[in-house]
C-alpha cells in the first residue's frame, strides 16, 4: 500500500489515504511517531501495527483522564478501561506500562484510600476493607496495609459518628431503648462491630444496665 494523501482531521487526528482506497485515521501523536510521509509504502503488517498503536494511545489517554480525577487500583482501572472495541491484551499492556512508570501503584492507592476514609470520613476498618475488596484489592494485601490502624482509632471514629447521630436523635425525645436501637443500627450500617457499638452506646447513653 502506498500513501497517496495525508490530511489533518480536526486538531487531534490525521487521515491517511492509500492507493488501494484504504484509509487510516491516527491520533496526531501516533502519526508523528510513525514518521510516515506521502509516497511511503507500508505492508499489511505495519498497517495492522499502526491500528494497534492507535488503540493503545486512546486507551492510555482514557487511563490518564481517569487517574487525573482520582487514584485507582489496577483492577478498578482495568475494569473501567474495558470496551468492546479494545482487546483485553491491549488494556493489560497499558496497565503494565502505567505500573512500570509509577502512575499505578496498589500499595500507594491503599495507603491513600485508608487515610482518607478512616481519618477524614471516619469509616470503620470493616467498611474500608469491603470497599477495597470491591476495587479488586486482595484481602491479604489489605490486611497487611491496614496493620498500622489501631482499634483505638476505630473507637474514635465510631464515637465521632455516634455523637453526631446522637445529637440528631436526642431531639426526637425517644425512649432510651429506642434511642439505643437507632444509634446501634446507624453504627452497624457504617460497618462497626457489635462490641465496639455496645461500648460507644454505653458511653453516650450512659446506661449500661439497659438491654442492648
CA 119 from chain centre, in angstroms, equals: 19
Looking at the structure, do residues 168 and 192 belong to the same domain, yes or no? yes
Q: What is the pLDDT of residue 49?
A: 95
Q: What is the mean pLDDT of residues 127-134?
A: 91
127 and 160 co-located in one domain: no
C-alpha grid cell, residue 47? 498497517
How many helices (H) and strands (E) in the chain? 10, 3
- Indicate the average pLDDT of the chain: 88
Whole-number pLDDT of residue 97: 96
Does 70 map to a domain? no
**Taking residues 90-113, what's their average pLDDT?**
94
Q: What percent of the chain has pLDDT over 70?
A: 93
Query: For 47-86, what is each residue's pLDDT tens digit?
Result: 999 999 999 999 999 999 999 999 999 999 999 998 766 7
103-108 long-range Cβ contacts below 8 angstroms, 24+ apart? 103/63, 103/64, 103/67, 104/67, 104/72, 104/74, 104/77, 106/73, 106/74, 106/137, 106/141, 107/141, 107/145, 108/71
CA distance 75 to 109: 11
Total Cβ atoms within 10 A of residue 73 = 19
* Domain match, 156 and 193 both: yes
Q: Which CATH number characterizes residue 181's domain?
A: 1.10.10
Q: Answer whether residue 130 is part of any domain.
A: yes
Helix (H, G, I), strand (E, B) or coil at 23: strand
Which three cell numbers mark 181?
436501637
Asked if residue 67 belongs to a domain, the reply is: no
Indicate whether 110 belongs to any domain. Answer: yes
Cell of 109: 492507592
Task: Read off the pLDDT of residues 145-179 as tens digits, 9 standing for 90 and up.
Answer: 877 665 557 888 888 888 989 889 888 888 888 89
Q: Which domain holds residue 127?
A: 106-145
The reported pTM is 0.72
Cβ partners under 8 Å of residue 155, min gap 6: 196, 199, 200
Would you tell me how many other CB atoms lie within 10 Å of the CB of residue 195? 8
Residue located via cell numbers 457499638: 197
* Average confidence (pLDDT) over 13-35: 93
Cell of residue 35, nine digits = 514518521
pLDDT at 151: 55
Number of domains present in the structure of the chain: 2
Same-domain check for residues 135 and 170: no
Amino acid at each position: 500500500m502506498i500513501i497517496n494523501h495525508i490530511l489533518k482531521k480536526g486538531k487531534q487526528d490525521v487521515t491517511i489515504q492509500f492507493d488501494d482506497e484504504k484509509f487510516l485515521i491516527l491520533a496526531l501523536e501516533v502519526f508523528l511517531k510513525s514518521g510516515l510521509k506521502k509516497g511511503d509504502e507500508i505492508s499489511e503488517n505495519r498497517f495492522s501495527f499502526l491500528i494497534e498503536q492507535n488503540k493503545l494511545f486512546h486507551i492510555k489517554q482514557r487511563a490518564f483522564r481517569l487517574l487525573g480525577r482520582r487514584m485507582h487500583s489496577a483492577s478498578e482501572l482495568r475494569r473501567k478501561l474495558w470496551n468492546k472495541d479494545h482487546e483485553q491484551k491491549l488494556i493489560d499492556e497499558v496497565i503494565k506500562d502505567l505500573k512500570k512508570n509509577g502512575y499505578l501503584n496498589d500499595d500507594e492507592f491503599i495507603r491513600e484510600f485508608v487515610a482518607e476514609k478512616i481519618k477524614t470520613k471516619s469509616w470503620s476498618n470493616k467498611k474500608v476493607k469491603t470497599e477495597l475488596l470491591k476495587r479488586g484489592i486482595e484481602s491479604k494485601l489489605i490486611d497487611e496495609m491496614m496493620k498500622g490502624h489501631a482499634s483505638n482509632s476505630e473507637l474514635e471514629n465510631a464515637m465521632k459518628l455516634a455523637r453526631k447521630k446522637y445529637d440528631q436523635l436526642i431531639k426526637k425525645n425517644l425512649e432510651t431503648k429506642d434511642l439505643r436501637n437507632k444509634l446501634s443500627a446507624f453504627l452497624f450500617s457504617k460497618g462497626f462491630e457489635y462490641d465496639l457499638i455496645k461500648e460507644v452506646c454505653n458511653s453516650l447513653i450512659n446506661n449500661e444496665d439497659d438491654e442492648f
